[in-house]
Copies of this chain bind each other. A is one copy, B any other.
């Protein structure tokens, strides 16, 4: 236990992430100083947004510097604490980074996960974690989902997208249509997550197929993908539609100017709006989302999958998997399997 293994950013990727971009480093385990808690990391949440932090561009957080531990959400257990917010034994979630040990304090606030939820740690990190909050606040606060809406979700087989569709259904959406890549994913979106339909963006003519599936237009489009998928949805909006921009995974690995979207004028024709959001702005309202999602979980009306990848050193490969769509469900890296919830 004398060392803290870390994954650092060694080179900035230009285009897809490759193995030379990150390196493993061993550092001493950090000391737990006044106001701090020492966290033994158990799980890392592998989110597409991590890729955006690797570029040297203005974003919602500062870009990583070369040599920085890769920024990431994770969960762990408090093993030592000089901060009254954290008790030894608490299972907590926060910005651990890709490493074995992390420090929580008042500036780097972690939330304490509740054993009373009665779920395992991977589930807590998926539907009750940042992924769940993203789906909930994006759909409900930003998108203002209403009973009777025709809701379309891109990245529908992903952790966020699959939950968005199920929450939309629970809120009374008239139809829930997914967009995903490949027949296998599309089948899962319908069969497992209960969407009415799922369109494969890899097949020709997405716009025409989407327009056939939504003859009255889309009322709410929840976008995780960007690019041509967003463009197809813009061309299919109903009057006063709401487009929620959650992510743009199709763009993250691209070098140079993205192809962009051509159909923004549809927002004028349809008096529609397109709004971006970040779950960071809603973290203090987590309990609200967790209560609703827990309720649905207990009724058995939320299906979710976690895709576990073993070992800290696998984190870069896990991120590559997420960016290329090779994952199945919420992708989590198991750093220490002994860290569990409840």
Question: Which residues does A use to contact B, with CB under 8 Å?
Answer: 58-60, 226, 230-231, 245-248, 251, 257-278, 281
Contacts and interface: CB of A to CB of B under 8 A. Distances in A.
Contact of A274 (B246, B251, B274, B281): B274
Given A260-B260, A273-B273, A268 B248 contact: yes
Interface centre among A231, A264, A273 (most CB of B within 10 A): A264
A273 B275 contact: yes
A278 B271 contact: yes
The 7 closest A-B pairs by CB, nearest first: A267-B276, A268-B276, A260-B262, A260-B260, A273-B275, A60-B269, A258-B262
Contacts of A278: 268-269, 271
A305 to B, nearest CB: 25
Contacts of A266: 276
Nearest to A264: B261
A39 B281 CA distance: 56
A236 to B, nearest CB: 10
A274 B259 CA distance: 19
A193 to B, nearest CB: 24
A177 to B, nearest CB: 20
A245 B268 contact: yes
Interface centre among A230, A257, A262, A276 (most CB of B within 10 A): A276
Contacts of A263: 260
Contacts of A231: 260
Contacts of A273: 273-276
Given A273-B274, A273-B276, A276-B272, A257 B262 contact: yes
A261 B275 CA distance: 15
Given A259-B260, A260-B259, A260-B260, A269 B265 contact: no
B226 A245 contact: no
A256 to B, nearest CB: 10
A265 B251 contact: yes
A259 to B, nearest CB: 7
A246 B226 CA distance: 23
Given A272-B276, A274-B273, A264 B230 contact: yes
B262 A259 contact: yes
A274 B237 CA distance: 14
A91 to B, nearest CB: 30
Given A245-B264, A259-B262, A271-B276, 6 more contacts: A251-B265, A259-B260, A261-B264, A264-B274, A268-B278, A269-B276
A278 B60 CA distance: 32
A275 B266 CA distance: 10
B226 A265 contact: yes
A264 B269 CA distance: 18
A275 B281 CA distance: 21
A277 B271 CA distance: 5
A323 to B, nearest CB: 15
A268 B230 contact: no
Contacts of A251: 265
A66 to B, nearest CB: 22
